[in-house]
Amino acid sequence: MEKYFELVDFLKACQKDIIRPAFGAIPNPYLIPGGFYTQQWDWDAYFMANHLCSRRPAQPQYLKYWVDNFLSIFDPNEDTPACVRADQKVLRHPSLILKPFLARGALRAMKDNHAEDWGREVFPKVESTIARWEKVRRDEPTGLFFWYDSMMSGADNNPAVGDAEEDRNQVLSCDVNAYVYAEYLALSEMASLLGCGDKAEIYQKKAATLKDNIIKHLYHEDENMFWNRRRDGRVIRRNAFSNYIPLTYGVLEDKEKGRALLKDHLLHRTMLSRYGIRSLAQDDQDYNNECMIVPYSNWQGPIWVVANYLHTVALSRYGLCEEAREVTKRLADTLLKDLHNCGSLHENYCAECGGGLAPNADMNKGREGGFVSWNLLVVDMLEENFPEVFKK
């Protein structure tokens, strides 16, 4: 395991590259996916900020800044954009809407910064963001939520969600419903800590109802598998990253079924490669490992660190700790090889050879790789799965 210290030390040294001071219309310091982007993006910066919360010494202020920067462009009558820009342009495009992560970010920021007064101040706005989801992105017959398209989900071209016109606002996806479920739980805990017991109970009930709806409409007991479905009832049997997110958040209460699902599907050879877990099953008709970042990043096969992180959380939650360690080692080996080959890292990796994909030199002003973002999470994976070796 000692060979991974080199990777951990490299990523620790790179932390300075993701931090930017307040600039232009961005009112607080912010985190960027170093190597290609310059804006504060939603789930990219969320995972980076959570990583910084877990460091020693901890840096929880960046998660608080993340929340405050998004609330600086908040409008209760509009969708909150997925990125905050320094040039004062507020992007209002249905594919680029803030994913449901804000409540979890606010909860941890309040706790880790010991900022109850701040939490009390932002709580109504955080509530409003989830109320907006309930108003415009919930399918009333099923009580489930939907993405506008795959780009909105963050898994930019995930075929289990789709980006064709006929897919827009039509797919009840496993990942978005698991995220909103986790948001309800965070809002309940935050309300409880703020002494708002009635609201805490309301959000606890909303979480329970959503969990029941996920099981009723997206879980197929005969196959022991979660599948996305269209609002017209048609099931989408595409084995993708998004199918497993309900397990990350413990939606399936039966631990034995959860273990079997992960073993039979996520750890099947079509998803698990020598280099980590694929973003789309190898036997899917759209499976590929093409290197792309514009107009979207490729989630049709390549290995993503953030997806593997969420999957190892699920594996550990359902008692597959040895399997979580094995996935962690495979992924860490992939990143360590990348570091040795080009002196840097990429945002995703070929599932067939383990080579770095994007950004390549053509995309990044002649520099191969240079991407530091949620690949920081490989450090969290090592710490969580090998605590006896990697101390935070």
Q: Report pLDDT digits (tens) over 131-143.
A: 999 999 999 999 9
- Dump pLDDT digits (tens) for 141-168: 999 999 999 999 999 999 999 999 999 9
Distance of CA 50 to the CA centre of its chain: 11
Q: What are phi and psi of 280, to 5 degrees?
A: -150, 145
- Dump pLDDT digits (tens) for 13-22: 999 999 999 9
- Dump pLDDT digits (tens) for 192-237: 999 999 999 999 999 999 999 999 999 999 999 999 999 999 999 9
The pLDDT, as a whole number, for residue 391 is 73
Please enumerate in sequence order all residues whose Cβ is within 8 A of that of 84, keeping only pairs 6 or more positions apart, or say none: 25, 26, 30, 39, 40, 69, 70, 72, 73
**First and final CA of the chain: distance in angstroms?**
15
Is pLDDT at 324 greater than 60 in this prediction?
yes
Alpha carbon distance 359, 373 (integer Å)? 12
The fraction of the chain above a pLDDT of 70, given in percent, is: 98
The predicted model gives 304-311 an average pLDDT of: 98
The pLDDT, as a whole number, for residue 370 is 83
Residue 292 or 219, more confident: 219
- Dump pLDDT digits (tens) for 340-360: 999 999 999 999 999 999 888
Exposed / middle / buried, residue 362 (Cβ in 10 Å: 0-12, 13-18, 19+): exposed
The predicted model gives 94-109 an average pLDDT of: 97
Is pLDDT at 35 greater than 70 in this prediction?
no
The pLDDT, as a whole number, for residue 303 is 98
Distance of CA 358 to the CA centre of its chain: 18
Q: How confident is the model at residue 364 (pLDDT cuts 50, 70, 90)?
A: low
Please enumerate in sequence order all residues whose Cβ is within 8 A of that of 192, keeping only pairs 6 or more positions apart, or say none: 200
- Dump pLDDT digits (tens) for 233-278: 999 999 999 999 999 999 999 999 999 999 999 999 999 999 999 9
Bin 234: left if φ > 0, else alpha if -120 < ψ < 50, else beta: beta
- Global pTM reads 0.97
pLDDT mean across residues, the chain:
95
The pLDDT, as a whole number, for residue 101 is 98
Alpha carbon distance 347, 97 (integer Å)? 21
Alpha carbon distance 171, 149 (integer Å)? 8
Query: Would you list the domain boundaries of the chain?
Result: 254-392
